[in-house]
């Protein structure tokens, strides 16, 4: 078992190179994220698509910035039937603490309860 103390002296860049399967991409990606506090939103500073989500080329494909952040943090691919959602609702957020894995069905079912009233009140 690896002792925690071994990693206490490593800086962020060394940790990224040691742990991530995407070492060059990780450094480039996180350099475009404005980190505030551990619990606050970490805002994407790169390209933003018209829908408001951050957009990045990562792992030889285009994806939303919160998807790349989740992959880097968890060292996993997004499951085929998985859907990443943002608990904060901020489309440019890349804080892994705000990104969770759900399903398209769960997303659709949870969103059906949030209805914006129409002008006629129905």
Contacts of 1 (CB under 8 A, 6+ apart): none
How many residues are there in the chain?
Answer: 122
Which CA distances in Å does 20 have to 3, 27, 47, 110, 112?
A: 18, 10, 23, 33, 37
Which pLDDT does position 15 carry in this prediction? 47
Kind plus residue range of the DSSP H or E element containing 44: strand 43-44
120 assigned to some structural domain = no
Which pLDDT does position 20 carry in this prediction? 53
pLDDT tens column, 16-67: 444 556 667 888 899 999 998 889 999 999 999 999 999 999 878 899 999 9
9 assigned to some structural domain = no
Residue whose tokens read 């990606």: 29
| Residue 67's CATH number | 3.90.75
pTM over 0.85: no
CA dist 42 and 51 (Å) reads: 18
77 assigned to some structural domain = yes
12 assigned to some structural domain = no
57 assigned to some structural domain = yes
pLDDT tens column, 56-111: 998 788 999 999 999 988 888 888 878 899 999 999 999 999 999 887 666 666 66
Domain, as residue range, for 84 = 17-111
Contacts of 10 (CB under 8 A, 6+ apart): 18
56 assigned to some structural domain = yes
- Per DSSP bridges, beta strands 55-58 and 61-64 are antiparallel
SS3 100: strand
pLDDT tens column, 6-18: 444 445 555 444 4
Number of domains in the chain: 1
33 assigned to some structural domain = yes
Kind plus residue range of the DSSP H or E element containing 102: strand 99-103
117 assigned to some structural domain = no
């Amino acid at each position: 078992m690896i002792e925690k103390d071994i990693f206490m002296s490593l800086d962020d860049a060394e940790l990224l190179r040691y742990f991530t399967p995407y070492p060059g991409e990780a450094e480039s990606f996180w350099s475009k994220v404005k980190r505030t506090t551990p619990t606050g939103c970490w805002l994407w500073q790169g390209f933003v698509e018209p829908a408001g989500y951050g957009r990045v080329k990562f792992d030889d494909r285009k994806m939303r910035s919160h998807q790349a952040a989740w992959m880097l943090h968890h060292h996993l691919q997004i499951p085929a039937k998985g859907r990443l959602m943002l608990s904060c609702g901020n489309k440019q957020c890349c804080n892994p603490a705000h990104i969770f894995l759900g399903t398209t069905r769960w997303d659709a079912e949870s969103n059906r309860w949030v209805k914006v009233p129409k002008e006629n009140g129905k």
